[in-house]
Structure 1
Amino acid sequence: MSEENTTNNEAAAAEGKAPAGFGIKRVFTKDLSFEVPAGLGAFSLQGQPNVGQDLNTQINRVDDTHYEVVLKVTVTVKMGEDKVAFLAEVHQAGIFQVVGIEGPQLQQVLSTACPQILFPYVRETIDSLAVRGGFAPVLLPQINFDALFVQAVAQAKAQADSQAEADA
């Protein structure tokens, strides 16, 4: 694998292009929220906890080689059917340097590798918020960002195809 990278980097250098590279410049919490809508009543709620998770990624170009990727995760813990015990929202961000990667490959790196790097920070923050809020720990399951990306690309293609058929 490293021989392939060396060969690709040498070829890029011969063509006058910068060799492909990826780096983490900074990881930070951009926004954070923890709510207990029922107040003190949340601690007397009965029932099996139901953990819901909403995930979103936002990509912002900072300059030619730097991108800000924000992983937004909202976790809602309900007791029973619809009684919200607590809601935690974390916007974990990172500044990433990407050189020599373009087009669909760049989109894939920004949509998969960057969120994969940010997710452990989100998991720890959500868990810490729950415990500090007086609730049981919440350990979010791992997420396969590669599979989510493939699914999103396939869904976008299917929508484009159906739109093209509707226009024809």
Structure 2
Amino acid sequence: MSDETTNGAAAPAPQEAAGPAFSVEKIYVKDVSFESPNSPAIFNEQGQPDLQLNLNQRVQRLNENVFEVSLRVTLTCKVGDKTAYVAEVDQAGVFGLSGLQPQAIDVLLGTQCPNILFPYVRQTAGDLIQAGGFPPFLLQPINFDALYAETLRQRQAQAEASNDVASAEPAGNA
């Protein structure tokens, strides 16, 4: 009984380190930009605003088990042929992933990480737009699982196209 640990918190640590792990190490704003090139005249323009959304995700491996995921959103609002504003937010996070198969890492980087970053992007973009003198804007949810599935379909189509080209070349030379 004298060998038993009264504080059981220390005992499970070696087992936890051996299993799969996913951690959020840091979330930060990498880049922010807001432009309203036609202010203040744009505030008097009449017409239906046209809003365009551009979404881009980038993954960079920092070391064996640590990745930076960057989610960049660019919102361009035009009224007629005049730009009302351009808001750009590049939100990033550092994520630790260990003890996972490469396919599981790819899925987490393509779905879970951007889902974690998205609320920060939405808040920052909304604050920028409102601070620019425009009505409040709430970026609608994005289905990163569906975007990831589409990325997989595109990868598969490219791989099949590469295989078709490779298998057609020898036949053409015969």
TM-score range, shorter chain: 0.7 to 0.9
User: Pairwise CA RMSD of aligned residues?
Assistant: 1.5
* Structure 1 CA distance for aligned equivalents of residues 116 and 24 of structure 2: 9
Distance in 2 separating the partners of 1:58 and 1:45:
36
Query: How far apart are 1:160 and its partner, in Å?
Result: 2.3
Asked whether the equivalents of residues 127 and 139 of structure 1 are also in contact (C-alpha less than 8 Å), the reply is yes
**What is the aligned partner in structure 1 of residue 164 from structure 2?**
165
3-state SS, counterpart of residue 69 of structure 1: strand
Query: Per the alignment, in what secondary structure is the counterpart of residue 39 of structure 1?
Result: coil
Q: Which moved more, 1:95-104 or 1:109-118?
A: 95-104
Compare CA radii of gyration and give the structure with the larger one.
2
Q: Is the 8 A contact 1:28 1:92 kept in 2?
A: yes
TM-score, normalised on structure 2?
0.82
Gaps of at least 5 residues in structure 1 are: 1-12
Q: Within 5 Å, which residues of 2 pair with 1:105-120?
A: 105-120=104-119
Cα deviation for residue 108 of structure 1 reads 1.0
1:126 and 2:159 equivalent?
no
Partner of 1:39: 39
Query: What is the Cα deviation at residue 49 of structure 1?
Result: 1.5
Q: Does the aligned pair in 2 maintain the 1:73–1:91 contact within 8 Å? A: yes
Question: Across the two proteins, how many residue pairs are aligned to each other?
Answer: 152
Supply the distance in 2 between the matched residues of 1:159 and 1:65 (Cα, whole angstroms). Answer: 28
> Does residue 25 of the first structure (1) align with residue 33 of the second (2)?
no
Unmatched tracts of structure 2, length 5 or more: 1-14, 169-174
Partner of 2:54: 54
**TM superposition score normalised by structure 1:** 0.85
**Corresponding letter in the other structure for 2:53:** Q
